[in-house]
Amino acid sequence: MKTETISPTLVVEMVVAITVALVIAMTSLAIHAQQPSIPFNRIQRESQPRLHQMADVTAATTTDGSFSSLSASAAPALGMAYTRPAAPRIPRVFDRKFFLLNALHLGMALADVGLAQHCIAEHQCKEANPLMPSSRAGQFSVSLGMFAFTSGESYWLKKHRARSWWEPPTAGIVAHIVGVASEIAR
């Protein structure tokens, strides 16, 4: 039975890739957890309807048919008040789902490059993608450039409330899972 040894550089690269992915994931959780709490008096104040007087724009007729403006204290007594609509809630772009998907994409990209470089260094395989350089720096630059592009595209889509914001990082994750699986299978 032949046993294969794993080179120390591969172990270090895998530990670095996993550490980077975990740091990004934990940072996203820490950012979410440190939202400032809303003071109770603000919650209580905003839960009640906002009534505003319309004394400036309302008028009442007198007995002779002429108009006279109302005083500020008379408008609420006559039932002339309105409720100001609440400001629309803008959804957050950088949320837990966004960070977790992009952290997983980055971790898989780093693992893919690390395993590919190990396989190339052992002369057991060669890069199957003709557009991907064979050097370590070249592969990292292409992988990180694609990661930056898909993260930016995902951010733009989510900011503009597109339901497909998760597709760019998911495509990258799937592509790198295929790469890692093919390198592990060798």
Instruction: Indicate yes or no: pTM above 0.85.
Output: no
CB 106 within 8 A of CB 24: yes
Distance, CA of 35 to CA of 26 (rounded, Å): 15
Q: At 101, which amino acid appears?
A: L
Task: For 145-169, give one letter per residue: b (16+ CB within 10 A) or e.
Answer: ebbeebbeebbebbeeeeeebbebb
Each residue's pLDDT expressed in tens, for the chain with a length of 186 residues: 556 666 777 777 777 777 777 777 666 655 555 445 555 555 555 555 554 444 444 444 455 555 555 444 554 555 555 667 777 777 788 889 999 999 999 999 999 999 999 988 888 888 888 888 888 899 999 999 999 999 999 999 999 888 999 999 999 999 999 989 988 887
- For the chain, what are the domain ranges? 8-34+90-185, 51-88
The candidate with the shortest Cα–Cα distance to 139, out of 105, 113, 118, 108, is 113
